[in-house]
Structure 1
């Protein structure tokens, strides 16, 4: 017994052997990554760091030939081993690599020309597809030449350019830019400069004049790949309504810019943002679900292979950029490590991949996505197996063996895998985002089971639509319930009181202490048991499950169709589109009329997607009642998703850039456009009419009538129109009044409001209006009226049967029914 205990006692020699033979890459990689941090803190010449690395390499070789253990006594003989000196070599090489990555802004680098007080002419080509946003488009340009006024000079480097949102560009397109080049900004809360520097971008141009040049740059393969991605993106918006289409575009293609800020915040607050942010967190969880799903039919090994193929296909589908490749590698590593059941191998490989990626770009170490990917994968490697084994032991104590194992397996897949990944990412989330989601541990188990169907069936719908669109539409109908379920669950948990803790500034020392304590506890644990897998499922269970899934899909589709069936009421919804007007009218028989729409594509598309039938996504009428930029900027792109049968137009078509683009789009598509005239009445059916009370270069004043219900919409009202209408006397009392120009006092005089004597007043304004709207004078005038505001209430929906009206809002309980005078 004594001899056995002696054999099991870890001696310094055995500990050293374990460190150097079982986890060599892990320690070498950690030293290299620490060297990158050291290089960022201590600014020495690259040759100093290389010289130190060479010295320690020679010492390591010498200590191998002449072991120091023969000259030194413990513990020095244990510490001063060849492997210790090799770690110092890695440390100094990491510092040297960081110094090498620091850019040299000479006359051949485009950043040399930053912050000049004159315009530059820059020639280059797009190295990525354009990133379309609501109010601008981001272009990433590889510079070839720069002209400061004395002719073209050779230059290199990447710049970020902001262009007009309604201009279209393609990857590889050669362009010429005119504008001032700036250093990206930074402040105490966020350094846009560091964020772009991690992507090797050190220059920034806003308000650029852009000329497209003949010829192309870039890579032929990438050009084809990005064309495929753009076609897939367009088809997603044809197949699905918003916000489901925008969520799928984020999940399948990595393009999440179509999601409204409110919905993005809901995902963040519930700890489910990994669903739309392509990170190691997302891919690790999905990979685990993939292998479980495929293994049930093909066995563990073939299931893992198919899961890897699925991850690779997904990586190509979303464009295959560096961030996605990083996440795919991390996710695949976690999957592979769990398959072979060797944590040591996984840790070695995980750190080695981190080393390779930081060798390519040392600034990855400060990238939030890289940190989340790394630590989420680390959490799965370290804790997935122990958590699952523990759950299995507890559950099987109280349930029959077969039932207990199945229950434990499901609990592990949908709860414990998430917990394992979140445990190691909590400090990163707290440090970077100053918040911790308490509901994430509950929300994720509800959401994750639907994600394989979202990705697989949704992706299949897109692929089939590229071959034959009707076939893709059928698959989209099957995928849609899973996508809408995801959104509704996120929105439901986002409304849980105190579901998110906002921390404020979070010290990096807390992050370090957390990981130190967690890893000390982890590696101090006595042992880990092997992963227990249940092989296969009974055919009957699979069959019953398939039938249940089909029934649920059918019920949800029927529910969606039923929700779109007209209810016999007239619905007028004032959409929350900022400091502009967007009014959606749904007639008793189901016709859809949109009046203007604001400047936010994401907001308008989201509103329409929630209110227009998925099976008939079009507008019966578009009414352009004002042509200012902020009133119509969203329309050119949204109409591609919700085309109108006809357009009623009021106002100068050349009044703004977006009105010109909109006019060109309508002409190109052959959509009939009717010019408004005074007293023109548009028959909406079912007795509802939309009458043009006044019209002019600025737009139109509209009156919606249905029975005794009257709503006045002065979207394009001018001072001349006010006088023409006798400051409301010619109109008479109305049920609902929309305040003109977001509450601008001159457009809403006291006589106008009191002559109209509305039962209800609606104000459409942004929560942080840059012009300070609404005016205090206007608020004083309407203080005795029932007022609803989009900046406080969100969307405002008024329903009426012509005799009564009901009001429902996004952020307040509905009011009681009101008799229409």
Structure 2
């Protein structure tokens, strides 16, 4: 058997990585185009035919290796794009079973299938419809149940609702409508809800709990643990600090209130209010270290994977958490099999898996977009920023915090401007003053919540430490939000300008990394 040279191995790895990248980009781009144009299966068919024709031509006619390779990548890209287009078409809702009830007052029986989202003056409930009003036709009832139609219910009821509760809803059924953002752009609210399978809304609804214990028993247990954890924190920490802490640690959905929400937006730190992927890393490493004391590496890894999956479900499974969960699982498998963890490949795999599961997130989930942009910034932009920040001390991880903050702030800015139209002048200093303390805040908050479930008094020292850090972080936000012109709204930042900006950024990064590799090769 012929031996494969070292150069050939490197070349094979390079080709494999490029092919994986082309497939991933083609698939996601196909989803993106179909999300915007909504052409239907005809687009996928056209791309399949075109990609297949190029692939066959490359195999049969061409004899130029370099040209063959280019045609191969073009064919793979088009075929992957066709698959992405087809996946989006299949994912779009087909059954609009409640259309005949639009703008009518109706009674709906259903099941709460997500955690309640409690705001300052109202509560949002995601309900799967079971029965509508006085409909007696068994065929219609069967169609409604089979379609598993979801509605978003907005209610001022102060009763506490839980996942799995059966409810009777009264109100006027409507369809979500787009609205204008502060920056003057239009937010496609209907598509934003559609990505979660929600097609209708009932505003100012009356809601009565009629049963308990429905849905998944695993999710009920996890959400129950989460609620006990948050209640434990509330015993020792007051508002608004406790709402911020519950969001940081377990993805709690309690509102900070309108005033504080606006302050966080003005200072450009709204991202810290929600759970980050950092928690997944903490959960995985902590569980593996603990069980690794008395179990084999395989058993501790299995428990670690199971723990982060359950934690992701408990926290609500936002795009940020799902992305971090997939990447953490890949990292654990790489460690167990003693293979190198390739972060770029892990990021691509995470993105493709998430888009395959729910293709609507590509265009209509800001959390998905910002999460991946921030991760790309940490991997590729941070080295460039760090090369210019050698003068900053490495003590207490100061340089690491400064570099990661600047990198992510710069790279997500075009997308944020398009989404919100809000530019925070003070975002960079506020992030630098706060982000370094967030891991410690989460750590003390986690201890305070877990210990407090059993022994509230013993949890007090940890609660006080968490509160002190939260007080500092919120005071920074309060002070900087009061600065005149802390932020201002831009006129519409169009999507074409976003693409141009990112194209220039990516080209600049490519040039810098190429020069760096060339310089290292000479050394």
TM beyond 0.5: yes
Q: Which residue of structure 1 lines up, in the alignment, with residue 351 of structure 2? A: 354
Q: What is the distance in 1 between the residues matched to 2:155 and 2:359?
A: 30
Shift of 1:447: 0.9
Q: What is the distance in 2 between the residues matched to 1:284 and 1:319?
A: 13
Shift of 1:270: 1.8
Q: Work out whether 1:251 is the aligned partner of 2:243.
A: no
Aligned match for 2:118, one of 132, 154, 157: 132
After superposition, residues 42-441 of structure 1 pair within 5 angstroms as 42-46=37-41, 49-50=44-45, 52-53=47-48, 56-57=51-52, 60=55, 63-64=58-59, 66=60, 68-70=61-63, 76-81=67-72, 83-106=73-96, 109-110=97-98, 112-117=99-104, 119-150=105-136, 153-154=141-142, 155=144, 156-188=148-180, 189-214=186-211, 216-278=213-275, 282-283=276-277, 312=308, 315-316=311-312, 319-329=315-325, 332=328, 345-366=342-363, 367-392=365-390, 394=391, 406-407=394-395, 410-441=397-428
Shift of 1:377: 0.3
Q: What is the distance in 1 between the residues matched to 2:309 and 2:24?
A: 29
Q: What is the distance in 1 between the residues matched to 2:194 and 2:309?
A: 29
Q: What is the distance in 1 between the residues matched to 2:278 and 2:374?
A: 8
Any idea what the Cα deviations from partners look like across 1:442-489, whole Å, max 9, x if unmatched? 122211221121101111000000111111123212222111111111
Name the CA shift for 1:41/1:128 in 2 (closer, same or farther; >3 Å): closer
Shift of 1:78: 5.0
Secondary structure of the structure 2 residue equivalent to 1:469: coil
Secondary structure of the structure 2 residue equivalent to 1:180: strand
Q: Which has the larger radius of gyration?
A: 1
Secondary structure of the structure 1 residue equivalent to 2:93: coil
Q: What is the distance in 2 between the residues matched to 1:267 and 1:285?
A: 21
Any idea what the Cα deviations from partners look like across 1:75-96, whole Å, max 9, x if unmatched? 7545323x32111110111111
Moved more, 41-50 or 245-254: 41-50
Any idea what the Cα deviations from partners look like across 1:135-191, whole Å, max 9, x if unmatched? 222111111222454456221311111223312322111122233311112234333
Q: Is the 8 A contact 1:175 1:211 kept in 2?
A: yes
Q: Is the 8 A contact 1:173 1:212 kept in 2?
A: yes
Q: What is the distance in 2 between the residues matched to 1:330 and 1:437?
A: 32
TM-score of the aligned structures, taking structure 1 as reference length = 0.53
Q: What is the distance in 2 between the residues matched to 1:214 and 1:263?
A: 35
Higher relative contact order (CA 8 A, sep 6+): 2
Q: What is the distance in 2 between the residues matched to 1:245 and 1:41?
A: 40
Gapped regions of structure 2 (runs ≥ 5)? 1-7, 181-185, 518-523
Any idea what the Cα deviations from partners look like across 1:613-670, whole Å, max 9, x if unmatched? xxxxxxxxxxxxxxxxxxxxxxxxxxxxxxxxxxxxxxxxxxxxxxxxxxxxxxxxxx
Q: More helix per residue: 1 or 2?
A: 2
Q: What is the distance in 2 between the residues matched to 1:113 and 1:445?
A: 53
Q: Which residue of structure 1 lines up, in the alignment, with residue 3 of structure 2? A: none
Name the CA shift for 1:411/1:358 in 2 (closer, same or farther; >3 Å): same
Q: What is the distance in 1 between the residues matched to 2:505 and 2:10?
A: 21
Secondary structure of the structure 2 residue equivalent to 1:411: helix
Q: What is the distance in 1 between the residues matched to 2:467 and 2:439?
A: 13
- Count of residue correspondences: 483
Q: Work out whether 1:484 is the aligned partner of 2:481.
A: no
Moved more, 52-61 or 358-367: 52-61
Q: What is the distance in 2 between the residues matched to 1:241 and 1:317?
A: 27
Q: Is the 8 A contact 1:135 1:165 kept in 2?
A: no
After superposition, residues 505-524 of structure 1 pair within 5 angstroms as 505-524=492-511
Q: What is the distance in 1 between the residues matched to 2:260 and 2:416?
A: 19
Q: Which residue of structure 2 lines up, in the alignment, with residue 817 of structure 1? A: none
Shift of 1:385: 3.0
Gapped regions of structure 1 (runs ≥ 5)? 1-12, 396-403, 530-821
TM-score of the aligned structures, taking structure 2 as reference length = 0.81
Q: What is the distance in 2 between the residues matched to 1:197 and 1:353?
A: 22
Q: Which residue of structure 1 lines up, in the alignment, with residue 481 of structure 2? A: 494
